[in-house]
């Protein structure tokens, strides 16, 4: 996690580590101090209760996830690659924030509740990032699905890796993107692909 964080962000990061280590119900304000490397006075200057800390953790996750997606899209702006880039960024968040994965393992019910509360926000973030893919998608163009419904399908598929990981989970983004390309390929693009591959 970030090394040049502001104090509230440092506390949020410490709280995430404490939750991963002790569980959501058992971690204490003292545990947060230890994990964040701050004094009790400093902690209470910013947060008066665990509930306030948990709110800050939610904001931290939102902010860092938005940054992760923005960086991924900026680094790979080609709309042709957008689906794989966005889904891979969602999966890579596990690697760059390993303490979050510990919370998933230790407190799946907390994580499911958190995802339920934050799903609309997550959907908005992902929909915006996937807009180049969604607006021209055949199921959207023909009215079978809305952009939001299609984005939700992609998100739910990718989030399943967090909740039910398996061997090969790290290839999910590539596989979904390949499936999407094959499903949405026009005869002309299929012919181009075949000529390029052959």
Q: What is the pLDDT of residues 161-192, one digit of tens each?
A: 888 888 988 899 999 999 998 888 866 544 44
Both tokens of residue 30?
């003292």
- Inform me whether the pLDDT recorded for 5 exceeds 90: no
- Inform me whether the pLDDT recorded for 79 exceeds 50: yes
Closest by Cα among 135, 53, 126 to 90: 126
Closest by Cα among 76, 91, 68 to 162: 91
Q: CA angle, corner 35, sides to 30 and 39, nearest 5?
A: 55
Predicted local confidence at residue 3, as pLDDT: 45
Length of the chain: 198
- Inform me whether the pLDDT recorded for 142 exceeds 80: yes
Number of Cβ within a 10 Å radius of residue 124: 12
37: alpha, beta or left, given left = phi > 0 and alpha = psi -120 to 50?
left
Mean pLDDT throughout 51-80?
Answer: 94
Predicted local confidence at residue 186, as pLDDT: 67
Predicted local confidence at residue 108, as pLDDT: 87
Q: What percent of the chain lies above the pLDDT cut of 70?
A: 91
The residue that leads in pLDDT, 43 or 107, is 43
Which residue, chain included where needed, has tokens 């996937």? 130
- Inform me whether the pLDDT recorded for 41 exceeds 60: yes
* Alpha-carbon distances of 170 from 95, 98, 158, rounded to whole Å: 10, 15, 10
Predicted local confidence at residue 4, as pLDDT: 54
């Amino acid at each position: 996690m970030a090394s040049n964080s502001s104090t509230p962000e440092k506390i949020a990061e410490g709280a995430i580590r404490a939750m991963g280590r002790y569980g959501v119900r058992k971690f204490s304000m003292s545990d947060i101090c230890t994990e964040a490397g701050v004094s009790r006075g400093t902690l209470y200057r910013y947060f008066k209760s665990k509930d306030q800390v948990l709110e800050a953790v939610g904001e931290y996750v939102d902010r860092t996830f938005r940054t992760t997606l923005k960086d991924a899209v900026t680094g790979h702006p080609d709309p042709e690659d957008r689906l794989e880039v966005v889904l891979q960024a969602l999966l890579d968040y596990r690697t760059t924030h390993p303490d979050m994965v510990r919370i998933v393992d230790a407190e799946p019910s907390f994580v499911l509740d958190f995802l339920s509360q934050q799903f609309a926000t997550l959907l908005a973030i992902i929909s915006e990032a996937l807009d180049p893919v969604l607006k021209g998608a055949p199921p959207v163009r023909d009215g079978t699905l809305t952009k939001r419904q299609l984005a939700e399908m992609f998100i739910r598929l990718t989030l399943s890796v967090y909740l039910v990981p398996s061997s090969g989970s790290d290839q999910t983004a590539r596989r979904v993107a390949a499936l999407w390309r094959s499903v949405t390929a026009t005869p002309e693009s299929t012919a181009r692909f075949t000529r390029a591959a052959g």
